[in-house]
Chain A
Amino acid sequence: MLQSYVPILILLVLATGFALISILLATFIGPRHPNTRKLSPYESGMTPIGPAMRRYPVRFYLVAVLFILFDIEIIFFFPWALIFRQLGFFGLVEIMVFILILLVGYAYVWKKGALDWE
């Protein structure tokens, strides 16, 4: 069974090899004339104002947390979908209960305004 993963490993090695070789090739062939101005961060031609690592909106974290919650819930659909035909009516009722619980959380998140960007 594990044998079917061996070709993927080979493809992984080849693809990584291509990426590394192309970067290495470019570093050897390409010119190198670094200076301070060239290596400073691009900011539309101005001298950069302040550090690049500023504080950024908390909403991005919120999206990440919501993603983890919902993604874990969605993962449960996959094994269920696989044997849905065998489960029949019982499987339908089970998933309805599951979706109902999921929807309660979803409605709460929506009501709290976590899904609004503005």
Chain B
Amino acid sequence: MIEFLIEAVIKSAIIVLVLLTSFAYITWLERKVLARMQARIGPNRAAPFGLLLPLADGIKLIFKEDTTPLEADKFVYLLAPILAAVPAFIIFAVIPIGDTITLFGRTITLYLTDLNVGLLFIFSITSIGVYGIALAGWSSSNKYALLGGLRATAQMISYELPFSLSVVGVLMMVGSFSLVDIVKAQNSIWFVILQPVAFVIFMICAAAEVNRSPFDLPEAEQELTAGYHTEYSGMKFALFYAAEYIKIVAMSALAVVLFFGGWQGPPIPLIGSIPIIWFVIKVFIFLFAFIWVRATLPRFRYDQLMSLGWKVLLPLALANVVITAIAIVLRDLR
């Protein structure tokens, strides 16, 4: 039991540290890639290629004044960034980055825990993140923040419906909520080939769930300054930022697990098969795609956003479930 606890503590610490580092360097990657796509150079002053810039940003944010508006609800104002950031970390508790490795004569699983309700757990945790954003907008007593928070809440709950429906097809084929089982079921064929429509719906909804471009209406700077975090400064602002980027990593990891075979892949020449290398490569491709989309697509209008979610994606996801069900029954009958 003690060994089990020590292992869990070490793994949790690694998850938190790796996520914080990747958050810092995704901001660097995003600025660099966006700059290149817009024929600019991007950050290049702090160390070669601006590689120390995320560190400088972090230190700067710690040394900034932490203001709380006079009319704000003090407790909720403090609670909101924590409520937004913590669920983003918790998602990674059930995401498997590999099967098992043997280290110092011990067999160690490359996931924190394998819940039998893993996927449901992820959906419930991502929903908690909505509270952070809604409460941030409400407690700031700022018109921009309130509108941004409302917009974000309406958008995130609207896209949650097709988001959760899109994975039902995968669930029907696997017959388990456990993410480890879902990855193992893709041994012979990736689900992106069997469920292409579900994958497209999943990715659109994932972008909307993390308020990413082209669905970044809650932060539309021309209309709402900065949306729900207008009044936030210093580390509280940094926590909202961290939540957004860690959720992007989480969505990429989830897409890899559900549709792209997770950690599975052929051995790579020269370096052989390192346990988590394929997982990292696949997640990285998705992160790049998220940045690419931001550089390419303009923002949606709010009515377009709502009608896309309710009138297009929801019926499409339902139809996908029905067609998958019929296909499975026909195949099993044969």
Q: B-contacting residues of A (Cβ < 8 Å)?
A: 3-8, 10-12, 14-16, 18-20, 22-23, 25-27, 29-34, 36, 38-44, 48, 51-54, 56, 59-60, 63-64, 66-67, 70-71, 74, 77-78, 81-85, 88-89, 91-92, 95-96, 99, 102-103, 106, 110, 115-118
A-B contact count (CB 8 A): 214
| Bound CA span A4–B66, Å | 38
Q: Is the CB of B146 within 8 A of A52?
A: yes
With CB as the reference atom, state the residue of chain A lying closest to B310.
A115
In contact, B239 and A34 (Cβ under 8 angstroms): no
**B165: nearest chain-A partner, CB-CB:** A74
CB-based contact B160/A78 at 8 Å: no
Q: Are B329 and A89 in contact (CB under 8 A)?
A: yes
In the complex, residue of chain B having the shortest beta-carbon distance to the beta carbon of A12:
B90
Say whether B154 contacts A60, CB under 8 Å: yes
How far, in angstroms, from A32 to B88 measured CA to CA in the complex? 30
CB contact under 8 A between A5 and B113, given known A14-B13, A30-B63: yes
A78 to B8, CA, bound (A): 29
Cα-based distance from A80 to B158 in the complex (angstroms): 23
| Cβ–Cβ contact B141 & A53, under 8 A | yes
B303 interface residue, CB < 8 Å from A? yes
Contact between chains at A52 and B90 (CB < 8 Å): no
Q: Does B175 contact A (CB under 8 A)?
A: yes
Known: A19-B239, A42-B142, A70-B314. 20 other contacts (CB 8 A): A3-B4, A6-B4, A6-B8, A11-B93, A22-B239, A23-B236, A27-B66, A40-B70, A44-B225, A52-B140, A52-B142, A53-B146, A56-B146, A56-B147, A60-B153, A70-B161, A78-B171, A84-B325, A92-B329, A117-B302
Instruction: Let me know if B143 is at the binding interface, CB within 8 A.
Output: yes
CB distance from B230 to the nearest CB of A (A): 6
Assess A4 versus B322: contact at CB under 8 Å? Given A14-B16, A84-B172: no
> Which residues of chain B from 116 to 134 have any CB-CB distance to chain A below 8 Å in the complex?
116, 120
Tell which of B12, B70, B141, B333 touches A14, judged by Cβ atoms closer than 8 Å.
Answer: B12
Scan residues 225-254 of chain B and give those whose CB is less than 8 A from a CB of chain A: 225, 230-231, 234-236, 238-239
A106 to B16, CA, bound (A): 42
Q: Is B76 an interface residue (CB 8 A)?
A: no
- Pull 12 A–B residue pairs with CB atoms less than 8 Å apart, ordered by A: A6-B4, A16-B82, A18-B16, A20-B82, A23-B235, A31-B65, A42-B230, A70-B314, A71-B161, A78-B171, A88-B332, A95-B321
A19-B81 contact given A6-B8, A38-B67, CB 8 Å threshold:
yes
Q: Mark B304-327 against chain A: 1 for CB-CB distance below 8 A, else 0.
A: 001100110011001001100110
Which residues of the partner chain A approach B114 to less than 8 Å between Cβ atoms?
A: 4
Given contacts A19-B81, A42-B230, A99-B322, contact A74 B161 (CB under 8 A): yes
> Is residue B27 within 8 Å, beta carbon to beta carbon, of the partner chain?
no
Structural contact, B66 and A26, CB atoms closer than 8 A: yes
B112 touches A (CB below 8 Å)? yes
Q: Smallest CB–CB gap between B225 and chain A, Å?
A: 7
Which chain B residue shows the least CB distance to A114?
B310
Contact B318 A99 (CB under 8 A): yes
A41 touches B161 (CB 8 A): no
Residues of A within 8 A of B147 (CB): 56
